[in-house]
Amino acid sequence: MMMREILAAIFIGLGILCCGIAMFGVYRMDYVLTRIHAAAIIDTLGTLLIFAGMIILRGFGWASAKIVLILVFQWLTSPVSTHRIGRVEVMTNPNLDKHCEVKR
Protein backbone atom coordinates (compact mmCIF):
# COMPACT_ATOMS: atom_id res chain seq x y z
CA MET A 1 0.00 0.00 0.00
CA MET A 2 2.79 2.35 0.91
CA MET A 3 4.61 1.59 -2.32
CA ARG A 4 1.60 2.47 -4.42
CA GLU A 5 1.14 5.84 -2.75
CA ILE A 6 4.81 6.72 -3.19
CA LEU A 7 4.64 5.78 -6.88
CA ALA A 8 1.47 7.84 -7.34
CA ALA A 9 3.06 10.80 -5.56
CA ILE A 10 6.09 10.62 -7.84
CA PHE A 11 3.88 10.60 -10.95
CA ILE A 12 1.65 13.43 -9.78
CA GLY A 13 4.66 15.46 -8.69
CA LEU A 14 6.27 15.02 -12.10
CA GLY A 15 3.03 16.08 -13.74
CA ILE A 16 2.79 19.20 -11.61
CA LEU A 17 6.42 19.94 -12.47
CA CYS A 18 5.57 19.69 -16.18
CA CYS A 19 2.60 22.02 -15.73
CA GLY A 20 4.80 24.45 -13.84
CA ILE A 21 7.44 24.43 -16.57
CA ALA A 22 4.75 25.02 -19.19
CA MET A 23 3.25 27.85 -17.16
CA PHE A 24 6.67 29.44 -16.83
CA GLY A 25 7.18 29.05 -20.56
CA VAL A 26 3.89 30.73 -21.40
CA TYR A 27 4.88 33.80 -19.42
CA ARG A 28 8.54 33.74 -20.40
CA MET A 29 8.12 33.43 -24.18
CA ASP A 30 6.97 36.47 -26.10
CA TYR A 31 5.51 35.17 -29.34
CA VAL A 32 2.48 33.04 -30.21
CA LEU A 33 4.32 30.20 -31.89
CA THR A 34 6.73 29.74 -29.03
CA ARG A 35 4.01 30.17 -26.45
CA ILE A 36 1.76 27.44 -27.86
CA HIS A 37 4.79 25.20 -27.93
CA ALA A 38 5.15 25.72 -24.20
CA ALA A 39 1.43 25.54 -23.44
CA ALA A 40 0.94 22.22 -25.23
CA ILE A 41 3.05 20.52 -22.56
CA ILE A 42 0.21 20.92 -20.05
CA ASP A 43 -2.37 19.17 -22.21
CA THR A 44 -0.21 16.24 -23.24
CA LEU A 45 2.56 15.31 -20.84
CA GLY A 46 1.16 17.07 -17.76
CA THR A 47 -2.26 15.45 -17.96
CA LEU A 48 -0.75 12.06 -18.80
CA LEU A 49 1.47 12.04 -15.71
CA ILE A 50 -1.19 13.38 -13.34
CA PHE A 51 -3.85 10.98 -14.61
CA ALA A 52 -1.41 8.06 -14.42
CA GLY A 53 -0.72 8.98 -10.81
CA MET A 54 -4.44 9.10 -10.07
CA ILE A 55 -5.04 5.72 -11.68
CA ILE A 56 -2.19 4.17 -9.68
CA LEU A 57 -3.59 5.69 -6.50
CA ARG A 58 -7.14 4.42 -6.99
CA GLY A 59 -6.55 1.17 -8.82
CA PHE A 60 -8.46 0.00 -11.88
CA GLY A 61 -12.20 0.48 -11.96
CA TRP A 62 -14.93 2.67 -13.41
CA ALA A 63 -13.26 5.83 -12.16
CA SER A 64 -9.98 5.04 -13.88
CA ALA A 65 -11.82 4.09 -17.07
CA LYS A 66 -13.40 7.53 -17.08
CA ILE A 67 -10.00 9.11 -16.47
CA VAL A 68 -8.60 7.23 -19.48
CA LEU A 69 -11.53 8.48 -21.54
CA ILE A 70 -10.83 12.07 -20.48
CA LEU A 71 -7.19 11.56 -21.45
CA VAL A 72 -8.16 10.25 -24.87
CA PHE A 73 -10.37 13.27 -25.53
CA GLN A 74 -7.69 15.64 -24.30
CA TRP A 75 -5.12 14.09 -26.60
CA LEU A 76 -7.49 14.18 -29.53
CA THR A 77 -8.56 17.79 -29.18
CA SER A 78 -5.73 19.73 -27.62
CA PRO A 79 -3.02 19.18 -30.28
CA VAL A 80 -5.58 19.99 -32.96
CA SER A 81 -6.44 23.31 -31.36
CA THR A 82 -2.75 24.09 -30.90
CA HIS A 83 -2.14 23.26 -34.54
CA ARG A 84 -5.05 25.45 -35.58
CA ILE A 85 -3.79 28.45 -33.59
CA GLY A 86 -0.34 28.09 -35.09
CA ARG A 87 -1.75 27.74 -38.57
CA VAL A 88 -3.87 30.88 -38.24
CA GLU A 89 -0.87 32.83 -36.94
CA VAL A 90 1.32 31.71 -39.84
CA MET A 91 -1.38 32.60 -42.38
CA THR A 92 -2.44 35.97 -41.06
CA ASN A 93 0.79 37.50 -39.80
CA PRO A 94 2.49 39.46 -42.59
CA ASN A 95 5.69 40.02 -40.60
CA LEU A 96 6.32 36.37 -39.93
CA ASP A 97 9.94 36.40 -41.08
CA LYS A 98 10.77 38.95 -38.41
CA HIS A 99 9.82 36.45 -35.71
CA CYS A 100 11.21 33.32 -37.31
CA GLU A 101 14.93 33.24 -37.94
CA VAL A 102 14.69 30.20 -40.17
CA LYS A 103 13.11 30.96 -43.53
CA ARG A 104 9.82 29.32 -44.28
Partner 1 sequence: MKAPQWYRRLERWVEGDSPVLPEPASHEEYYQEKEKLPEERTIGKPLLFEAGISTVRRMSLVFAIFSAVVFSILMLITVAYLPRFGDVEAPPENETSRRYIEKGVQEVGATNLVANIILVYRGFDTYGESCVLFLGATAVIMLLEADRKNTSKKDEEELERMDRIDQQGRNQILGHITTVLMPVVMLYGLYILCNGHLSPGGGFAGGSILGGALILCENAFGVQRVRSFFNHHVYHIIKVGALIFYAVLICYTIYVGSNGLENIFPLGKPGSILSAGIILPINVAVGLEVACTMYAFYTYFGRGEL
Q: Where does this chain bind partner 1 (CB under 8 A)? A: 73, 76-77, 80, 83-84, 87-88, 91-92
The gap from C-alpha 57 to its chain's centroid, in whole angstroms, comes to: 21
Q: Which is nearer to partner 1, 92 or 95 (CB)?
A: 92
End-to-end CA, the chain:
54
Question: Least distance in Å: CB of 2 to partner 1?
Answer: 34
The CB-of-76 to partner 1 minimum distance in angstroms stands at 6
- The smaller minimum CB distance to partner 1, of residues 4 and 87, is found at 87
Q: Is the dihedral of CA 89, 94, 99, 101 positive or negative?
A: positive
CB of 91 to partner 1, least distance (A): 5
Q: How far apart are CA 47 and CA 38, in angstroms?
A: 14
